[in-house]
Chains A and B, each alone.
Chain A
Amino acid sequence: MAAKTLTIDGRLISAAEDQTVLQAAKDAGIQIPTLCHLEGLSDIGACRLCVVEVAGSNKLLPACVTRIAEGMQVRTDTERLRHYRRMVLELLFAERNHVCAVCVANGHCELQALALALGMDHVRFEYRFPKYSVDITHHSFGIDHNRCILCTRCVRVCWYIEGAGTKNVAGRGAECRIITDLNQSWGTSETCTSCGKCVQACPTGALFKRGSAVAEMERDRTRLEFIVNAREKKQWIV
Chain B
Amino acid sequence: MDRLKIATAWMGGCSGCHMSFLDLDEWLFDLAAAVDVVYSPVIDVKVYPRGVDVCLIEGAVANEDNLELLLQIRERTRILVAFGDCAVTGNVTAMRNPLGNADPVLNRAYLRPEDLHPRLPAEPGILPALLPRVLPIQEAVPVDYYIPGCPPPAARIRAILQQLVAGQVPTQTGADLTYG
Interface residues of A (CB under 8 A from B): 93, 97-103, 106-107, 112, 115-117, 119-124, 126-127, 129-132, 146, 215
Contact = CB atoms under 8 A, between A and B. Distances in A.
Contact of B180 (A93, A103, A117, A132): A103
Interface in B85-137: 85, 88-92, 94-95, 97-100, 133, 136
A132 to B, nearest CB: 7
B82 interface: yes
Contact of A121 (B94, B95, B133, B172): B172
A116 B85 CA distance: 14
A176 B99 CA distance: 20
Nearest to A101: B150
Given A116-B175, A131-B99, A100 B143 contact: no
A32 to B, nearest CB: 18
Given A115-B177, A116-B175, A129-B133, A99 B98 contact: no
A97 B91 CA distance: 9
Nearest to A124: B138
A121 B146 contact: yes
A146 B99 CA distance: 13
B139 interface: yes
A130 B94 CA distance: 12
Contacts of A107: 180
B180 A119 contact: no
Interface residues of B, number: 31
Contact of A131 (B98, B173, B180): B98
Contacts of B163: none
B12 interface: no
Contacts of A98: 89, 179
A100 B98 contact: no
Contact of B178 (A103, A112, A146): A112
22 contacts: A97-B98, A99-B89, A99-B91, A100-B85, A100-B150, A100-B179, A100-B180, A101-B179, A112-B178, A112-B180, A116-B174, A116-B178, A117-B174, A121-B145, A121-B146, A122-B148, A129-B90, A129-B94, A129-B98, A129-B133, A132-B98, A146-B98
Nearest to B87: A122
Nearest to B134: A129
Contacts of B176: 116
A116 B99 CA distance: 29
A112 B94 contact: no
Contacts of A103: 180
B95 to A, nearest CB: 6
B138 A106 contact: no
B150 to A, nearest CB: 4
Given A101-B179, A101-B180, A106-B180, 7 more contacts: A98-B89, A112-B178, A122-B88, A122-B138, A123-B89, A127-B89, A129-B90
The winner among B89, B92, B95, B174 for most chain A CB atoms within 10 A is B89
B15 to A, nearest CB: 14
Contacts of A123: 89, 136
A97 B95 contact: yes
The winner among A101, A102, A117, A215 for most chain B CB atoms within 10 A is A101
Nearest to A97: B98
Contacts of A126: 139
Contacts of B98: 97, 129-132, 146
